[in-house]
């Protein structure tokens, strides 16, 4: 366990291109301690690990390996993990117990009431496909500038290389399932990878 935690801390640190000294200043943990931690030579308290997860802007679950067993394909409702990837006005949950070895990413999204903010409707594009199934409320889907209201049990499936977005323009929370391929949380080494920038060290 300590070795896995250390490997993932080092992976995040090198991806962010920061030194052990920088991380030490950010976390108040000594350079020697962090160096040994990355090599799996010591353990870390949960509160210090949570501090590192906040610095790297990842969920603390990132540091733990999910053991694959005969029941790993089943997720109970209380086992859902909140995704650290957010869109400001949404809460997102993983719908797969193990996402590190999957090619698709299923999520449950709770989109909070909209604020009639044009910035929220800005379309974006990326490689892959997205499938949506609306569970509750009215979701406004925007594809190439065309807005379509999706009601409960409506579905949508489109290439994400096409400019798109989805917003909630109602005064009630919208709940829907979205499935993305490829799994954009996985990097080339099969590890969870979040692209949020690391917090800067105050001069």
- Tell me the domain boundaries of the chain: 2-63, 86-181
- The tokens describing 40, both together, are 């799996």
Give the pair of three-digit tokens for residue 125: 């594009």
Angle at the Cα of 197 from the Cα atoms of 196 and 201, rounded to 5 degrees: 145
Burial class (CB within 10 angstroms; exposed 0-12, middle 13-18, buried 19+) of 95: middle
Angle at 17 between CA 16 and CA 18, to 5 degrees: 95
* Topology annotation, domain 86-181: Jelly Rolls (2.60.120)
Q: Under a CB-based contact definition with an 8 Å cutoff, are residues 174 and 110 in contact?
A: yes
Instruction: Decide if 200 contacts 121 (C-beta within 8 A).
Output: no
Cα(21)–Cα(27) distance, rounded to whole angstroms? Answer: 10
Identify the CATH homologous superfamily for domain 2-63.
lambda repressor-like DNA-binding domains (1.10.260.40)
What pLDDT score was predicted for residue 142?
93
Query: Are the beta carbons of 121 and 101 closer than 8 angstroms?
Result: no
Q: What is the pLDDT of residue 124?
A: 83
Where the chain has pLDDT below 50, the residues are 68, 70, 194-203
> Is 53 strand, coil or helix?
helix
Per-residue b/e over 109-131, b at no fewer than 16 CB within 10 Å?
Answer: bbbeebeeeeebbeeeeeeeebe
Q: What pLDDT was estimated at residue 189? A: 53
Q: How far apart are CA 36 and CA 62, in angstroms?
A: 19
> What integer pLDDT is reported at residue 178 of this predicted model?
95
Contact 91, 82 (CB under 8 A): yes
Write the CB contacts of 176 (distance below 8 Å, at least 6 apart in sequence): 108, 109, 111, 132, 133, 134, 135, 136, 137, 139, 150
pLDDT given for residue 203 in this prediction? 38
């Amino acid at each position: 366990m300590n070795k896995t935690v250390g490997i993932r801390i080092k992976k995040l640190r090198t991806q962010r291109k920061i030194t052990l000294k920088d991380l030490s200043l950010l976390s108040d943990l000594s350079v020697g301690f962090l160096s040994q931690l990355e090599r799996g030579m010591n353990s870390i308290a949960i509160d210090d690990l949570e501090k590192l997860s906040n610095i790297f802007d990842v969920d603390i679950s990132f540091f733990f390996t999910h053991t694959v067993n005969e029941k790993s394909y089943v997720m109970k409702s209380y086992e859902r993990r909140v995704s650290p990837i957010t869109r400001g006005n949404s809460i997102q949950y993983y719908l797969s117990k193990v996402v590190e070895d999957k090619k698709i990413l299923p999520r449950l999204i709770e989109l909070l009431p909209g604020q009639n903010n044009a910035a929220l409707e800005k379309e974006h594009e990326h490689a892959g496909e997205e499938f949506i199934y609306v569970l509750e409320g009215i979701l406004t889907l925007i594809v190439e500038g065309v807005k379509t209201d999706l009601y409960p049990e409506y579905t949508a499936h489109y290439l994400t290389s096409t400019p798109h977005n989805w917003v909630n323009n109602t005064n009630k929370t919208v709940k829907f399932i979205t499935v993305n391929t490829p799994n954009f949380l996985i990097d080339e080494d099969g590890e969870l990878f979040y692209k949020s920038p690391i917090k800067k060290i105050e001069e």
